[in-house]
Chains A and B, each alone.
Chain A
């Protein structure tokens, strides 16, 4: 088996150094090595999106990225979305206000995806919102509360 590799990754603003096997996924690195269990595993083949994190500000499937590939990168997980004093981000608050979650398992992936989406497209149309959400599966909400939350977050960020 290949030798372990030294990596340095900035996770939610904090530098992390680790020696990991090359096949360790970024999702497992975050969950097991960093103890950041908000990133969830719903399929481990890139379909469900529950493991979505920001890799250098871009939303990626952490189950399809090896931790060693993230060497030298900046990673943001759902735990890094709220402000340091604990105040919910506009997106997080909107998910709560619009009942965009139930069991909460897909929520971290959605929060991260939507955060990246609104950063790139702050004034989306309803069609763009649904298209942007289509890479994340949810079994509870029927997406309506999530669509409403994204709409509200976009409108609110717009007005700020």
Chain B
């Protein structure tokens, strides 16, 4: 264990004798354009003759659409096109499939089912005119009772939201179950201690700084559609457009240019994209759609909204025996959840966390409500945020009941290193982990014992200080194609690598960065494997015409899947380079040794050829060995054999003002273990961002509704995200437990901090409130909600 200091902040690591891959800290290739304002985001695109699209949205949460009169809008001198649901219905485009095999209205035909739903759109010469014309459309609605509270959605008298679905007579969306119910019940029956707690993970929103948008350009001569859009999964989108719009796939090019943050918000296909395509098909001009902030918050993919009852069974001395949970999931008006087909609740099944327990069971019911669709987003790794929040909250509730230190309780129950690969009671096979040293390092960095002493002193003085712990196991890198697909597309990822004659290279990825630094780190992976300097390797991503097929970036899957592909494609090129080198050095392949960047004859380091010389030979004059084709390139499609399971230990320190109930996060120590670390600087930035998400969710953020279904969080004045003043200087550290099945031992990490930090913060707040006898309070822990809790009136946030 070595403590190092970077930028004046404490950083420490435990390196289990594994050499980290890559070139270590490397400044980003992306930055020079971004700091100069030379990035190219969707809204920066300007094409000749380009028109602008604006969407008319429902003011009601639930209402019948009686009529839509577009006469005045069409008469506006700058308007080129007005389209209603009825017009789309004639073309069979009024509904589209969602990523969960449900359907979602592109434009409402029969009813509107959430406030902000798309009802009509206008295409005009400029954005201002398009917005003006929206006000000229007259829609007659017949308001219906909305379903807002998830707990009453299944009451017999609840209005039926999805009467578009044949025979649908209630708001039931799906049931899902995992684990062994009988076995779990038996373990609970013999437990010394059972703790039950109702825990809500409120609806929040990823709110990327750049909203969603697209420019559609249909070339009527070639019959070719180009769509620039804010998508995290350009290839999957292309295929779905082909299926939905009936355009041949080779005539569709989807380009995801620079994206101003995704955080899962930009995985689904939104009606706005389809409207832009329709607008361009009908006008023959490029059409731009760019939503505003309110539209982003009220209509695009929300996150969380799980109402959970968590139960934990243990022995008196703190041995956790079993966990079970019942979940009510609010999916909004259409099930648009982005998740592999066989996983309607995502990977919530990992709710057993980092602990070796005897039994577990989960029963989930998902329902429709009159709200926007979504669910899986905001760095959730397919519902692992919810799973980790549940287990880490309920373990703390157990610690409270047992009057046991929360770190000690966790340490006592960790899966031990020799148990990996470890099959959980819900069937997940964790690849590797060494949990205790990670927890120990966090304790050491935080000065845990001193913090507890400080807390005792402060408590005696009536001051409110809390220390919160969370320890999480993530599951990222979806996924093995036998188990995981999105609408039938297996979750593998491609990679192509081409080495030019002069030894420079281009690597083409199927995943798509939204700020995670792929242009830098993927060059580093290839550089490490081939010995070509990373500056000499360009990374191409986001353009379906230029890159191999794959499923895109979300669920922290880029490094696990595409990162593996990049390493393996480089090795494939290296294998061919070895054949060429054997010809150049006139020795057999077996006599060659690889030393990063060159082959030399075994025992004779002087007789060597560099990868650059090999590249020139591959393209140049002179013979190549028998059977070797010219050129130096390869491609691969990587099918991961398992997910990767990074882990982390977090400690948060909060102070609460007893007079105002305002929570201040004073310190936050985060130790992450994502196996081999490709670029420590970038990982650290990912962690900082995720921890800030955690502060947002735990203390500030919530998408809320009034009883009529009006969304009360439609602006950044109402939906609060952390500024520089709400977050502390982050303190980070790491351990290295490589993934045994990954080619370079690397695991994903992008979402770990978002997953792991909310429970640490909430545990800290609840710990601070211990003198008040409070065992649980629901997020977001705003001053008013903490105040209510201090008065003995904690309320769930719905």
Binding site for B on A (CB under 8 A): 21, 23-24, 28, 31-32, 35-45, 47-48, 50, 77-79, 81-82, 88, 92-93, 95-99, 101-108, 111, 129-131, 133-148
A140 B724 Cβ-Cβ under 8 A: no
A144 B723 Cβ-Cβ under 8 A: no
**CA of A126 to CA of B19, assembled, Å:** 36
Sampled A-B contacts (19; CB under 8 Å) = A37-B37, A37-B43, A37-B44, A38-B36, A43-B293, A47-B715, A98-B7, A102-B685, A102-B686, A105-B209, A107-B35, A137-B721, A139-B207, A140-B685, A141-B692, A142-B730, A144-B727, A144-B730, A146-B724
Q: Chain B contact residues: over half helix, strand or loop, or mixed?
A: loop
Chain A residues closer than 8 Å to B39, beta-carbon distance:
38, 104-105
Interface 0/1 of B208-251, CB less than 8 Å to A: 11110000000000000000000000000000000000000000
Pick the interface stretch among B254-262, B411-419, B654-662.
Answer: B254-262
The interface on chain B, measured as residues whose beta carbon lies within 8 A of the other chain's beta carbons, has a size of: 60
A104 B260 Cβ-Cβ under 8 A: yes
A87 to chain B, nearest CB (A): 11
A44 B292 Cβ-Cβ under 8 A: yes
A103 B208 Cβ-Cβ under 8 A: yes
A33 to chain B, nearest CB (A): 11
A68 to chain B, nearest CB (A): 14
Given contact pairs A23-B128, A143-B724, a sample of 17 additional A-B residue pairs in the complex whose CB atoms are under 8 Å apart: A37-B37, A40-B43, A42-B260, A48-B209, A48-B716, A78-B35, A88-B32, A103-B262, A104-B31, A104-B39, A105-B261, A134-B723, A138-B209, A139-B721, A141-B692, A142-B691, A144-B685
Chain A residues closer than 8 Å to B261, beta-carbon distance:
102-103, 105, 139-140
Chain A residues closer than 8 Å to B729, beta-carbon distance:
144, 147
**CA of A44 to CA of B517, assembled, Å:** 27
A134 to chain B, nearest CB (A): 4
Q: Chain A contact residues: over half helix, strand or loop, or mixed?
A: loop
Which 9 pairs from chain A and chain B are nearest by CB?
A38-B37, A103-B515, A105-B260, A104-B34, A142-B688, A102-B515, A78-B37, A37-B44, A47-B716
Is B428 at the interface (CB under 8 A from chain A)?
Answer: no
Chain B residues closer than 8 Å to A141, beta-carbon distance:
685, 688-689, 692
Pick from A45, A81, A147: contact of B715, CB below 8 A: A45
A45 B685 Cβ-Cβ under 8 A: no
B125 to chain A, nearest CB (A): 12
Chain A residues closer than 8 Å to B725, beta-carbon distance:
130-131, 134
Chain A residues closer than 8 Å to B128, beta-carbon distance:
21, 23-24
Is B452 at the interface (CB under 8 A from chain A)?
Answer: no
Is B38 at the interface (CB under 8 A from chain A)?
Answer: yes
CB nearest to A148 among chain B residues:
B7
A83 to chain B, nearest CB (A): 11
Is B516 at the interface (CB under 8 A from chain A)?
Answer: yes
B37 A79 Cβ-Cβ under 8 A: yes
**CA of A138 to CA of B691, assembled, Å:** 13
Chain A residues closer than 8 Å to B723, beta-carbon distance:
133-137, 143
Is B733 at the interface (CB under 8 A from chain A)?
Answer: no
Interface 0/1 of B675-705, CB less than 8 Å to A: 0000001101111111110000000000000
Pick from A24, A77, A111, A136: contact of B35, CB below 8 A: A111
Is B343 at the interface (CB under 8 A from chain A)?
Answer: no
B46 A35 Cβ-Cβ under 8 A: yes
A142 B30 Cβ-Cβ under 8 A: no
B390 to chain A, nearest CB (A): 24
Counting chain A CB atoms within 10 Å of each CB, the highest count among B263, B514, B724, B729 belongs to: B724
Query: A108 and B37 in contact (CB under 8 A), knowing A95-B31, A148-B7?
Result: yes
Query: A96 and B31 in contact (CB under 8 A), knowing A139-B207, A142-B690?
Result: yes
B210 A88 Cβ-Cβ under 8 A: no
Contacting residues of chain B (709-754) with chain A, CB-CB under 8 angstroms = 715-717, 721, 723-725, 727, 729-730
A42 B210 Cβ-Cβ under 8 A: yes
Counting chain A CB atoms within 10 Å of each CB, the highest count among B211, B514, B681, B688 belongs to: B688
CB nearest to B718 among chain A residues:
A47
B724 A103 Cβ-Cβ under 8 A: no
B32 A96 Cβ-Cβ under 8 A: yes
B671 to chain A, nearest CB (A): 16
**CA of A36 to CA of B44, assembled, Å:** 9
A95 B35 Cβ-Cβ under 8 A: yes
B208 to chain A, nearest CB (A): 6
Is B28 at the interface (CB under 8 A from chain A)?
Answer: yes
Chain B residues closer than 8 Å to A104, beta-carbon distance:
30-31, 33-35, 39, 258, 260, 515
CB nearest to B27 among chain A residues:
A96
A102 B36 Cβ-Cβ under 8 A: no
Is B41 at the interface (CB under 8 A from chain A)?
Answer: yes
Chain A residues closer than 8 Å to B715, beta-carbon distance:
43, 45, 47
A139 B209 Cβ-Cβ under 8 A: yes
Chain B residues closer than 8 Å to A130, beta-carbon distance:
724-725
B41 A145 Cβ-Cβ under 8 A: no
B716 A43 Cβ-Cβ under 8 A: yes
CB nearest to B263 among chain A residues:
A139
B205 to chain A, nearest CB (A): 11
**CA of A134 to CA of B9, assembled, Å:** 21
B569 to chain A, nearest CB (A): 26
